Structure formats: structure tokens, C-alpha cells
Amino acid sequence: MANCCPATRFIRPIIAAAKKLLFLLLLKLLPLLSIIIVNYNVKYFIEQCLYSVQKAITGMDAEVIVVDNNSADESVAYLKENFMWVNFIANKENTGYAKANNQGWQMAKGDYILFLNPDTILGEESLKKSITALQQDNRLGALGIRMIDGTGHFLPESKRGFPSPSASFFKLSGLVKIFPRSGTIARYYMGWLPGRENNEIEVLSGAYMMVKKEVLEKTGGFDEQFFMYGEDIDLSYRIRQAGYKNYYLGENTIIHFKGESTKKDSRYVKLFYKAMGIFVRKHYGKKSLAFNLLMQVAIAAGGVVSFFSQLFVSRRQAVATAETKIIHTMIAGEPAEAKKAAAILMGHQLLKRKITCLPDITEIYNVIQSEQAGEIIFCAGTLRYTDIIQCIESLPGNIAYKFFAAGSNSIVGSMSKNSSGEIVALQED
């Protein structure tokens, strides 16, 4: 065989180097992270969510895909004006949460896919820390995060176990609340695991579920039998069956208002029961008949209790509102942002307010010692979301906390994870 000429030997390494460089450039053009958000009639909450996402992806190769399930509040038209960097999919019908998420991730280009609820607020480090954790261990297939509600209270569904017959019985019977840290009774919420520690868990919450794309391709993504609820449990189960671990990032916290995406009404009870029935028949087989009966009785009873409890809370809030003459509102943030937030508030004469503007978040701790605050509005422009979340966790839970992002036209918050939150929007001319 003839030897290659010197020119050929010289050109080959150049071609190889050029191919490698081209490959690296193509990789650079592809996003590392794809964020999928399914929206349905919560345009003001998703507005605040997207502003927090915008800060969290700063300096990252990321794309954001919002799948709108035929919202009646003109969400897409409202959001497109301020979020031109977001890819929108506008469905002509409500396809359900599982199917809409599948639409999103199947067109995603990232190596990591984050399924995120529209009623969430992220800290600036949340995404980077999540990706780092997944990159450091090849055995991890998916990751969840520590979540608090709009009052700063920890949400136990941040880390869960599989809903076996015994785990479900202890949860639905209320025994979990009596023995919240028991290794046997509190298995549904894995209550023995500290909320602020990183740990392997069984079930991740669909409100913040980051999955390696290769894992989604192996498992097939969400099972579209689930219209709403239960799809995250089912996917978590199949990720474990595929040989991967589900991981809980307890060292980082986000806000999940929850009441917007999980309204505890009669429809919720029916959908939740239907979802659990699908999961049990799919994964527990012969145990499904007895488990089905248990679920039906327990969830029906829970629905009745939930209805009357919400009725009581609504009436109590209405009485409290009627008795309140003036609400002391603290607005924390840069003066121009605080001024705009105050103008939005004053455009709604539902409540009388005494407004105090604080240029720095640290001043809240000093002022609140001497003056009682009814609500605190955080202007998330100059203020960091991470600092706001930490502040909410350290302050009393009886204060109404609200968010106003720089550039937004709305102020949102929620005092209960079981009911809709409060929205104050800029009045249109």
C-alpha cells in the first residue's frame, strides 16, 4: 500500500480539528436547559413566574417554552409583548397537563428539561444548583426542590413516597399529621427526612421537576392517561424502574403558590381520585380493588371537609376585611419600582392602605419590630428573588406577601395553598 503524500498527512489533522471545532460550536448553539411551563388562565401569576425565570437563566444557555391550554384570559397575547424570548404554543383546546408537557419537551433542545408550574417563583441560583447536582451523579435521573407556599410554610409534597395502600391510608386518615416524622406512618411525605437536606426520594413534584432528556426518551415522558394530577407520581415511578434515582434538593428553596394550579374544589377531588385510580390499576394490579374502595371513601370524606373548611376560611377573611379600616402596606424595593407598585394599588380602591416604602429589604426587619404590617410587597427588580424568599421564610406567616416584578403590570400573592390568590393588576385605559 502506497504511503500518503506529505500534503495529505498535513491536511488530515486540520480537517479533524475543524470538525471538532464545528461540533463544539453546534453544541454551544444548543441550549443546556429547556423549561416547559403549562399555562391555563393564570396570566398574572405566570407573568411573575417568567420574570423570576428570566433572572434565573441569566448567563445560562436556556430556552423557555410556554404551552397554553386554550386559556380564556388571553394569556398568550398578554405575555408575548413582554416575553419575546419565550416560545409559545397555543393549543386550541385544553389537552391536559401531561399531554401539554409532552408537547413542550418533545420540541425542546436542552439536555435537561424542567417542568415548572406557572404559579412558582424561582431564586436566582435554583436552576444552576439543580443542573450541577444532576451533572455530578450519573445515577440521578430527575430532581425536585424544596418548596414553600406564599406565606413561607414548607410544602411537604416537595418530597414524597409512592402512594402504596398503607401510605395512602395513613395520609388520607389524617394520621400523618399526628405522626409527621414516623418512618411508617409518614411515608407518603417521607416525613423522617429533614426538609432542608438533600436526599434521594421516591416521588418528585410536577411543580418543579428537572429531568435529563435522555431519561425522558427512555421512559417516554408523561403518561397522557393522566389529565391532571398523578402524572408526576407515575413518571417518578417509571424513572426508578428504569434504574435511575430521584433526588430532592433541600438546600435551595422556591415559592409555589399552589392555590392557582390546585384549586381544592369538587372538580379537584374527582380528578385526583381518577388519577390515583389510574396509578393503582397500572402499578399495583390485584391490590387495586381494595385500594380503590379505600380511596373513594377517604377522598369523598376529605372533599366534604375541605369544602366546609374553605367556606369557613372565606367567611372569616370576609369578616376580617370588613372590619379592617386601614391596611399597613410595606413596599420594599428601588424607589421608582415602589412608586409604580403603589400606583397599581391605589388604582384599586377595594381597601384603604397606609403605604410605607422601604428601599432595602433589610429595613423590613427593623420596621416590623415597631409597626405591624398587614402586607409586604416585594419589588423584584433590584431585589434578588433569593433574598426575598429567605425574608419571607424568616418573617411571621400572618402577613400577606406579594410580588411585583420590574416591568410587570400586576402584583400577586396567596395566603392559602388551598384557594386562589390575590391579584392586583394595572387598570387598562
Residue 16: what pLDDT?
59
Of the candidates 220, 202, 209, 207, the residue with the CA atom closest to the CA atom of residue 164:
202
Q: What is the pLDDT of residues 277-328, one digit of tens each?
A: 777 777 766 655 666 666 666 555 555 555 555 555 555 454 444 444 678 8
Q: How far is CA 217 from the centre of its chain?
A: 23
Closest by CA to 130, choosing from 53, 76, 71, is 53
Q: What DSSP line would sit under 177-235, residue for residue?
A: HHSTT-TTTTGGGTTTS-TTS-EEESB--TTEEEEEHHHHHHHTSS-TT-SSSSHHHHH
Q: pLDDT by residue (tens digit) across 137-165?
A: 999 999 999 999 999 999 999 999 987 77
pTM of the entire predicted model: 0.84
* Distances, alpha carbon 187 to alpha carbons 159, 165, 381, in Å: 10, 11, 40
Residue 79 zone, left/alpha/beta (φ > 0; ψ -120 to 50; rest): alpha
Place of cell 411515608: 187
For Cα atoms 56, 61, 67, give the angle at the middle one, nearest 5 degrees: 70
User: Residue 135 — very low, low, confident or very high, per pLDDT cuts 50/70/90?
Assistant: very high
Share of the chain above pLDDT 90, in %: 52
Cα 385 from chain centre: 14
DSSP 2: P
SS3 268: helix
Instruction: Kindly report each contact of residues 184-193 with a partner whose C-beta sits within 8 Å and lies 24 or more positions away, as own/partner.
Output: 187/161, 188/160, 188/161, 188/163, 189/156, 189/157, 189/159, 189/160, 189/161, 190/159, 190/160, 190/161, 191/156, 193/159, 193/248, 193/250
pLDDT at 24 exceeding the cut of 50:
no
Mean pLDDT lowest among 32-41, 103-112, 403-412, 414-423: 414-423
Backbone angles phi, psi at 188, to 5 degrees: -60, -40
H or E element in which residue 255 lies? strand 245-256
What's the pLDDT score for residue 73? 93
pLDDT in the model for residue 175: 80
pLDDT at residue 407, as a whole number: 87
Residue positions counted in the chain: 429
Higher-pLDDT residue of 397, 10: 397
pLDDT (0 to 100) of residue 321: 46
C-alpha cell at 425: 393588576
Cα 406 to Cα 384: distance, rounded to the nearest angstrom:
11
Of 258, 276, 266, nearest in space to 172 by CA: 276
Instruction: Give 63 or 281, the one with higher predicted confidence.
Output: 63
| pLDDT reading at 1 higher than 70 | no
332-388: pLDDT as tens digits: 999 999 999 988 888 765 567 788 889 888 888 888 877 777 889 999 998 999 999
